[in-house]
A = this chain, B = another copy of it.
Amino acid sequence: MRENELIAAIRARIRDPQGVTGIGDDCCVWTPSGPTCLSIDTIVEGRHFTAQATPAQVGRKAAGAALSDLAAMGAIAKGAVVAITCPSRWDGLAIMEGLIAELQRHQCPLLGGDTTVGDTLSLTVTVWGEAAHGRFLYRSGGKPGDLLVVTGPLGGSLASGRHLAPEPRFAEGAWLAGHPAVRACMDLSDGLAADAEKLARASGGGCLLLPTQIPVHPDVPEISDPIAAAMQDGEDYELLAAIAPEHWPNVQLAWPFDNPLCVVGWLIEQNEMQMEDHRGRVVPLAFRGYEHE
């Protein structure tokens, strides 16, 4: 399918929101109603998915992984654009249909894009949004003593194929942004060990993790060390939040979602990554997440 045909087929599948100019001009145009957050995210064949993935899965993953960044800010999605580099062996339209379906599931209009032919399938999705509850959640808002909580079980996403269907936690992110005791938040893409370090450092300190408290996903294979999997596998797309400890009981009681919020550690003043070992001693964190080369 030539570029022009692909674009025409995509345009036939979407409709622009009122007052918004989408695909077909040099830019898309919309009128923001307030502070705006935006993220860009790439997935590449051979690194984030393999040739065994279906086109619809690839499109869904590209959209879901990008949207997860908006969810982590406590945002509502307002728009997306996609750049696709597509070898002829892949069905570009089926990929785009998977991507559009995932965007539509989160009321996010596709407003533009760019198509290129290349040897390696690659999708880059830019998404933007506005605050669901009057403020955004940043990684940098945490304070020493804040409890670190996660919104769901971790680990096993690659082994199970769950990494192909990231579930952006929009409802949870919006709820957290609406609660004044929540001071920082991010989504878990590189594994709890690596991502907790990012949140801690952005907040100006370190953290202490409690390996035995981490909820392990049933997808973790039986042959794996469950705690190592939950700490390191990555691509969970659950949220990690820092909560003022004095308000934790209220937050826990008010939390309206099926998966309970689980405390997995807390922020500390020292610029160190620590954990409690199985005898309750504080030792250096013995896990690391997926580190990109």
Task: Give residues in A with beta carbon < 8 Å to B.
Answer: 2-4, 21, 24-32, 34-42, 44, 46-48, 69-70, 72-73, 75, 79, 81-83, 85, 111-120, 122, 124, 126, 128-129, 136, 138-140, 186-187, 202, 291-293
Contact = CB atoms under 8 A, between A and B. Distances in A.
Given A25-B202, A29-B36, A38-B112, 4 more contacts: A26-B186, A28-B37, A40-B124, A46-B119
Nearest to A34: B31
A81 B120 CA distance: 22
Given A32-B36, A112-B40, A73 B3 contact: no
Give how many copies assemble into the complex: 2
Contacts of A85: 42, 44, 122
Given A44-B116, A116-B47, A124-B124, A38 B31 contact: no
B21 A138 contact: yes
25 contacts: A2-B292, A21-B138, A25-B186, A25-B202, A26-B72, A27-B37, A27-B38, A27-B70, A27-B72, A28-B39, A29-B35, A29-B136, A32-B32, A40-B81, A40-B112, A40-B113, A48-B116, A85-B122, A114-B124, A115-B292, A117-B292, A117-B293, A118-B120, A118-B122, A124-B124
